[in-house]
């Protein structure tokens, strides 16, 4: 028994050493020929299958309504906002930044300034509503941007004629995209961010706070820097009447409709009813030039995308991602994850037990060792993959057993290598003892 414990512990340490070496080599891209494949695998996670295939269709969340403002001018957005505000929603979130990009405030570089009346109309509409949340953007100054860091030291906000009359929340998602045109994968959200001593809330969290502060404070009390978004559904991406939205299948995801959506023309023409907005959370933002437009602007790849691998088209507009976060907070439907020590503990335990099993088979059934060890590894990988998917689909717990799966894949080859090295070391030590004994005999 002692022999098994010592050998298993030694091989476990060797396996983790090899795993570290493999990850170190991968960081230096020595296998660059596989970069495309590795990136595709990175963009897909096992839990995406649970999002896509195993969860039931969502129930429409009637507390949240999305309104498209397309490419409307500021004066038209003001009219749309006034109309919505007249229906007395509890919160109106505007996923937009009304400033001069680049900070150049002249009519050549910022043509929005030419429409003085439109700006005043929008400012007045925000002030009269009194319950508007505007987007802000987390930024890095040039002095900080030259370093490879995730630190944020500034924010971009709307002009004061708008921001003075509204609450604010940052609209950034951690997507790893450098530019707006880059492929953006939305999986997580930062609930809050502290910048120069001031705590800013995410756009979705700010809206949820204004709607239900008790549940939102409970969410923030989790004190998780980067929360996994528990996506539940999308909007209907075709031009259909509102009454048909509940039972129609969405075009870009495998889920049914989660949120009602209204196009700007319906609002401006008065083709909407007050009950759709009264006491609700209204999220206004860009949902295409019209509802149903397949535009890519402010659009993300999400785990609900119909294509699990080699994704071609993004499936969810930014305002809908924000709406999913709000729904997650209000439903207290969070995704829990393992702590780092738990991940390492599981990987070490699985590795130790697997090595002990391999050693037993090697001693008792040496003829069958090669075949059985491979079968055991394949069965283990399949079981752990099934557990990851099942636990996430059933309990919204993301196990993140990547390290365990990697260790299981390495344990077979590492066992053979370690055993060969052990035999070589023992052989050399035995020969050395024999030579020393012979020399002593000759001297005697």
How do residues 274-292 score in pLDDT, each as one tens digit? Answer: 999 999 999 999 999 998 8
Residue-level pLDDT at 243 = 42
Distance from C-alpha of 287 to C-alpha of 296, rounded to nearest angstrom: 10
- Of 177-186, 382-391, 414-423, which range is least confident? 177-186
pLDDT at position 50 over 90: no
Distance from C-alpha of 157 to C-alpha of 112, rounded to nearest angstrom: 15
Q: Could you tell me which residues come within 8 angstroms of residue 350 by beta carbon, excluding any fewer than 6 positions away? A: 380, 404, 407, 408
Contact 98, 122 (CB under 8 A): yes
Residue-level pLDDT at 40 = 47
More confident residue, 428 or 364: 364
Contact 256, 247 (CB under 8 A): yes
- Pairing assessment for the beta strands 257-262 and 167-170 based on DSSP bridges: unpaired
- Of 98-102, 185-189, 265-269, 273-277, which range is least confident? 98-102
Q: Which residue has the tokens 């799966």?
A: 405
- Pairing assessment for the beta strands 188-189 and 336-337 based on DSSP bridges: unpaired
What residue ranges do the domains of the chain occupy? 2-49+337-443, 62-330
pLDDT at position 47 over 80: yes
DSSP-based three-state secondary structure for 101: helix
More confident residue, 339 or 7: 339
How do residues 119-134 score in pLDDT, each as one tens digit? Answer: 999 999 999 999 999 9
Distance from C-alpha of 412 to C-alpha of 407, rounded to nearest angstrom: 9
Residue-level pLDDT at 249 = 43
How do residues 226-250 score in pLDDT, each as one tens digit? Answer: 999 999 998 854 333 444 444 444 4
35 pLDDT band, cuts 50/70/90, is very low
- Of 209-213, 269-273, 278-282, 306-310, which range is least confident? 306-310
How do residues 21-32 score in pLDDT, each as one tens digit? Answer: 877 665 544 444
- Of 194-198, 255-259, 387-391, which range is least confident? 255-259
Distance from C-alpha of 215 to C-alpha of 221, rounded to nearest angstrom: 10
Count of CB atoms situated within 10 Å of the CB of 266: 17
Residue-level pLDDT at 238 = 37
Distance from C-alpha of 353 to C-alpha of 345, rounded to nearest angstrom: 12
The helices-and-strands tally (H runs, E runs) of the chain is 14, 16
Segment 266-270 mean pLDDT: 94
More confident residue, 257 or 145: 257
How do residues 201-222 score in pLDDT, each as one tens digit? Answer: 999 999 999 999 999 999 999 9
State the chain's mean pLDDT as an integer. Answer: 86
pLDDT at position 180 over 90: no
For residue 158, give Cα distances in angstroms to 154, 289, 345. Answer: 13, 22, 48
Contact 253, 62 (CB under 8 A): no
pLDDT at position 343 over 60: yes
- Of 61-70, 407-416, 433-442, which range is least confident? 433-442
- pTM assigned to the model: 0.86
Residue-level pLDDT at 5 = 85
Q: Could you tell me which residues come within 8 angstroms of residue 8 by beta carbon, excluding any fewer than 6 positions away? A: 352, 353, 355, 356, 359
Contact 183, 177 (CB under 8 A): yes
Contact 312, 196 (CB under 8 A): no
């Amino acid at each position: 028994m002692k022999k098994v414990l010592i050998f298993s512990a030694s091989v476990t340490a060797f396996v983790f050493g090899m795993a570290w070496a493999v990850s170190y080599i991968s960081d230096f891209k020595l296998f660059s020929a596989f970069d495309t494949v590795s990136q595709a695998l990175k963009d897909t996670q096992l839990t995406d299958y649970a999002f896509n295939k195993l969860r039931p269709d969502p129930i429409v969340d009637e507390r949240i309504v999305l309104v498209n403002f397309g490419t409307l001018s500021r004066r038209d957005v003001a009219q749309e906002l006034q109309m919505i505000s007249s229906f007395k929603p509890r919160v109106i979130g505007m996923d937009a930044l009304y400033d001069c990009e680049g900070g150049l405030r002249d009519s050549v570089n910022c043509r929005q300034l030419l429409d003085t009346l439109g700006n005043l109309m929008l400012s007045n509409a925000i002030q009269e509503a009194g319950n508007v949340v505007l987007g802000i953007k987390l930024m890095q100054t040039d002095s900080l941007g030259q370093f490879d860091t995730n630190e944020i030291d500034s924010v971009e906000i709307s002009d004061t004629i708008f921001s003075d009359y509204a609450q604010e929340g940052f609209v950034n998602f951690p997507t790893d995209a450098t530019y707006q045109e880059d492929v953006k994968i939305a999986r997580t959200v930062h609930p809050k961010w502290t910048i120069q001593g001031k705590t800013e809330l995410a756009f979705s969290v700010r809206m949820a706070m204004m709607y239900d502060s008790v549940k939102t404070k409970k969410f923030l009390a989790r004190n998780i820097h980067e929360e996994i978004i528990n996506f539940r559904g999308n909007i209907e991406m075709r031009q259909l009447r509102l009454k048909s939205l509940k039972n129609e299948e969405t075009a870009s995801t495998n889920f049914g409709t989660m949120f009602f959506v209204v196009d700007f023309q319906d609002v401006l023409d008065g083709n909407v009813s007050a009950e759709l907005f009264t006491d609700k959370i209204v999220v206004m933002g860009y949902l295409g030039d019209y509802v149903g437009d397949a535009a890519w602007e402010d659009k993300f790849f999400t785990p609900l995308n119909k294509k699990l691998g080699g994704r071609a088209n993004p499936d969810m507009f930014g305002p809908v991602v924000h709406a999913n976060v709000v729904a997650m907070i209000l439903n207290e439907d969070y995704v829990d994850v393992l702590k780092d020590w738990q991940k390492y503990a599981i990987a070490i335990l699985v590795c130790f037990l697997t090595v002990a099993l391999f050693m037993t088979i090697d001693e008792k059934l040496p003829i069958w060792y090669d075949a059985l060890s491979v079968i055991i590894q394949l069965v283990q990988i399949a079981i752990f993959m099934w557990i990851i998917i099942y636990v996430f689909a059933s309990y919204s717990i993301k196990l993140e057993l990547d390290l365990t799966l990697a260790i299981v894949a390495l344990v077979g080859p590492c066992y053979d290598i370690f055993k060969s090295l052990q035999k070589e070391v023992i052989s050399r030590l035995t020969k050395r003892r024999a030579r020393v004994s012979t020399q002593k005999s000759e001297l005697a």
